[in-house]
Structures are given as C-alpha cells and as structure tokens.
C-alpha cells in the first residue's frame, strides 16, 4: 500500500492528514482566550455595583476558558 508523502500514513481513498500540533495548540489557545474574555464580560455585566471579589473574576475567567475549550474539542472531534 502507498504511503502519504506528508504524514507517512497509509494512503487510502479517504485519507486525511492529521492537523499539525502547532495548529491544534493555536486553536486551543484562541478558544481559551475567547472563553475567558466572555466569562469576564458576563461577570462584568451582571456585577454593576462592583461587589464581586477578585477571586470570583478569576474563577469566571478560568471557567469560561475551560468551557470554551471543551466546546471547541467537542465540535471539532466527531
């Protein structure tokens, strides 16, 4: 059986080379940044009086980034 010149995998009719690790890392980082920003934005919208402590802001950014990464991975992988 023939091999793919790029990824050295089996070259079949339905062959698709895997994405490069740097592209995957860039997608994960971009989704984490977007999710963290959305989490921070949601807390800022709902906390108009400024009574939420800084740790809750931090938790919302981390939770938003985690949710965005999980959604991105679930959508990208069938």
pLDDT higher than threshold 80 for residue 1: no
HSE of 64, CA atoms in CB hemisphere, 13 A: 18
- pLDDT, greater one: 77 or 66: 66
To 5 degrees, how large is the angle CA 65–CA 20–CA 72?
25
Q: Where are the alpha helices (DSSP H) in the chain?
A: 21-46, 54-76
Please report whether residue 67 resides in a domain: yes
Q: What is the mean pLDDT of residues 8-32?
A: 87
Please report whether residue 61 resides in a domain: yes
Q: How far is CA 59 from the centre of its chain?
A: 17
Q: How much is the pLDDT for 34? A: 94
Q: How far is CA 16 from the centre of its chain?
A: 22
Taken in order 38, 63, 29, 16, is the CA torsion positive or negative? negative
58: domain range?
21-76
Q: How many domains does the chain have?
A: 1
Please report whether residue 10 resides in a domain: no
Please report whether residue 52 resides in a domain: yes
Please report whether residue 5 resides in a domain: no
């Amino acid at each position: 059986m023939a091999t793919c010149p790029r990824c050295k995998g089996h070259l079949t009719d339905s062959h698709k080379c895997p994405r490069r690790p740097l592209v995957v890392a860039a997608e994960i980082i971009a989704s984490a940044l977007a999710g963290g920003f959305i989490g921070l934005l949601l807390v800022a919208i709902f906390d108009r009086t400024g009574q939420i402590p800084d740790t809750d802001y931090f938790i919302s950014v981390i939770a938003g980034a985690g949710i965005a990464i999980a959604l991105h991975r679930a959508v990208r992988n069938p």
